[in-house]
Amino acid sequence: MVSLRGLTDHTIKSYSTYISAYLSFLEKAGIPPEDASWDIMRDFVVSIQKERSLSDRTVNGIISQLRFFTLYILHKPWDPYQLPMRRFDSYLPFVPTQEEVRTFISAFTDLKQKAMLVLMYSAGLRVGEVCSLRYDDVSRSQMRIHVIHGKNRSDRYAILSPTALDILTQYWFACGRPTGYLFPKQNGQDRPIDTFFISRHIAAMEEKLGWPHRFTCHSLRHAFGTHLYENGVDLPTIKELLGHKSMSSTLVYIHTAANGTRSVTSPLDAMGGLL
């Protein structure tokens, strides 16, 4: 049923993880899924949040999965008042400065790792989009990258930086000249590399540099959007380059940019101060 809805592999994996946990919870309690009450579902949500130290945002994802399971698998009605979505605080993402990005990426000597990081930062690609890139997706003549079926299930073109192309070319010649997936799994050329490959190396490099653990793959994507805005690129263009579905996702870069809200003059100062 999940596959019939046309959900992505990442979503299917996520649904399987928490629905499996829910079914195990019911099995231990000796309760068939169709007989589970709202109290039982609430107990499960509270239990798994405490057990795994999950954020309220993640809990909302679990509630969505329970809703899917109830409606499409059990064919029972769903009452949003019985298991309401959590409210959660919103925080600005960590965005490294341009100098921090330069220092961090330059510290990598492995060409595969460096090429993946450079693509995330220079084109604003998600880690999953980098891992799924194929040789034919990179157009050297048009200097652009074809991102196929991104997060919003839509294609887009990302910019191909000449510097990124140079590093990618070095990697390509040094690492077997892959013509399928640009970053294949080590034990299978017909399968893309796992996303945790580069995440693991990011954490290791932070440790090596003695930096606090703040960098993630998405930090580089945020840095791309923020640094473009700092360099004068308009928000609609940044939205299209990042493949955002809504402008509200792009507006965050006004707040994270060094020349964003901090460059605005207060009306109190504009009037020349107080008498």
Known catalytic residue: 151?
yes
Among residues 112, 114, 126, 227, the one annotated as catalytic is 126
Among residues 67, 144, 146, 151, the one annotated as catalytic is 151
Known catalytic residue: 146?
no
Known catalytic residue: 244?
yes
Known catalytic residue: 42?
no
| Interaxial angle between packed helices 235-242 and 217-230, expressed in degrees from 0 to 180 and rounded to the nearest 10 | 160
Q: How many CB atoms lie within 10 A of CB 191?
A: 13
Known catalytic residue: 201?
no
Among residues 156, 221, 222, 227, the one annotated as catalytic is 221
Known catalytic residue: 227?
no
Residues with a catalytic annotation lie at 126, 151, 218, 221, 244, 253
